[in-house]
């Protein structure tokens, strides 16, 4: 069990997409966050108190969460003295990186000496079978994206919450480190051996009652040269009845991959329909989730209005709007099908 509350470590993060774990915890588990700890050169500010490790402990912090995700998922060398200082202050370390904290000798020695725990969230807690492709009962929705870090987790959390607010039976299914920290369970899908990733997605969203919605957090992007594999495995294994396309209207190229342009929403929707039809021929796009954080209110509304006109589907920003429009659309479609 992770010890709360958290101090969020931002390192030298240069932009918000690289600090999505920290932002996710701030936005969806804010009561568990006491502040942030930034190193020199950090360009990201969560809008919570800047605290030293001693100050955080005085305010009740019990764990330091590495809130940034560098490309490659390894502990950055410049962090090690600071993480060691956090351990010396009595804080557990929580990481969603690919590299295990215990594999960093300095951290392992310090943790053993101080008697604190090193938690690696991105380590599957069990083995998974190969996918079966068998159709399962219940309803499933998967959030997908034109790129990484465009709001798939936020959209899934907002949709699950909106469905529950309307009396529907809905469960958020976490597939990434931040989602697992928020939900308390899930599968770190990008850390599962490739042959078993679709099977892990099946395991995560099992048979359920006819009216139950599993709202599954998406990972990566079908259009990403590095991470498309996990996206495809998740799409096949989750067998979504519906998917929501997530995008940032201001992004023109993939984050950190400037040679790869963002595909159009039309192309993204059609590709997900084609690929998803392998395990669920009835798959459909239910709406679009838009990250409008870089736009003022008028510009955000204009973007959403244009997309509604283009696609005739619900369009929402999970932070500005919530997902009520999308939830109403899903439940109305269910009611129509039942009739």
Q: Which CATH class is domain 139-338?
A: alpha beta
Tokens (6 digits) for 273: 């329909």
Lowest mean pLDDT among 31-35, 89-93, 121-125, 174-178: 121-125
Provide the token pair at 305: 């209005």
Cα angle 175-226-152, degrees, rounded to a multiple of 5: 35
pLDDT per residue over 222-257, tens digit each?
999 999 999 999 999 999 999 999 999 999 999 889
Minimum mean pLDDT range among 14-23, 130-139, 158-167, 271-280: 14-23
Q: What's the mean per-residue pLDDT of the chain?
A: 95
Residue 229 three-state SS: helix
Sorted by where each begins, the domain ranges of the chain are 6-120, 139-338
Whole-prediction pTM = 0.86
Q: What b/e sequence results for 4-33 when a residue is b if at least 16 CB atoms lie within 10 Å of its CB, and e otherwise?
A: bbbbbbbbbbeebbbbbbbbbbbbbbeebb
pLDDT over 70 percentage in the chain:
99
Region 146-175 average pLDDT: 96
Task: From 194, 198, 190, 271, select the one nearest 238 (Cα to Cα).
Answer: 198
Tens of pLDDT along 45-75? 999 999 999 999 999 999 999 999 877 788 9
Q: Would you tell me how many other CB atoms lie within 10 Å of the CB of residue 302?
A: 14
**Topology of the domain comprising 6-120:** Rossmann fold (3.40.50)
Comparing 6-120 with 139-338, is the CATH topology the same? yes
Q: Give the torsion sign (CA, 210, 216, 222, 228).
A: negative
């Amino acid at each position: 069990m992770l010890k709360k509350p958290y101090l969020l470590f931002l390192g030298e993060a240069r932009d918000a997409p690289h600090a999505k774990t920290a932002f996710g915890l701030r936005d969806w588990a804010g009561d568990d966050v006491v502040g942030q700890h930034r190193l020199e050169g950090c360009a990201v500010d969560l809008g919570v108190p800047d605290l030293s490790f001693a100050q955080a402990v005085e305010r009740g912090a019990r764990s330091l969460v590495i809130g940034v995700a560098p490309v490659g998922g390894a502990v950055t060398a410049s962090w090690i003295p600071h993480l060691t200082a956090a351990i010396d202050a009595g804080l557990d370390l929580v990481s969603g990186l690919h590299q295990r904290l215990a594999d960093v000798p300095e951290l392992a020695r310090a943790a053993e000496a101080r008697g604190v725990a090193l938690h690696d969230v991105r380590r599957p807690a069990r083995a998974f079978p190969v996918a079966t492709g068998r159709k399962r009962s219940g309803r499933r929705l998967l959030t997908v994206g034109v790129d990484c870090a465009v709001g798939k987790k936020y959209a899934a959390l907002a949709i699950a919450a909106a469905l529950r607010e309307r009396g529907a039976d809905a469960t958020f299914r976490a597939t990434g480190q931040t989602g697992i920290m928020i939900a308390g369970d899930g599968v770190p899908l990008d850390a599962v051996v490739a042959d078993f990733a679709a099977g892990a997605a099946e395991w995560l969203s099992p048979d359920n009652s006819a009216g139950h919605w599993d709202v599954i957090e998406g990972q990566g992007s079908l259009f990403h040269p590095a991470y498309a594999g996990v996206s495809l495995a998740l799409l096949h294994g989750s067998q979504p009845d519906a998917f929501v396309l997530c995008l940032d209207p201001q992004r023109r190229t993939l984050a950190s991959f400037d040679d790869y342009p963002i595909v159009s929403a039309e192309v993204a929707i059609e590709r997900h329909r084609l690929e998803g039809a392998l395990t669920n021929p009835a798959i459909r796009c239910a709406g679009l989730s838009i990250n409008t954080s870089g736009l003022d209110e008028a510009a955000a509304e204009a973007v959403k209005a244009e997309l509604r006109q283009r696609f005739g589907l619900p369009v929402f920003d999970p932070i500005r709007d919530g997902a009520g429009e999308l939830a109403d659309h899903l439940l109305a479609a269910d009611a129509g099908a039942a009739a």
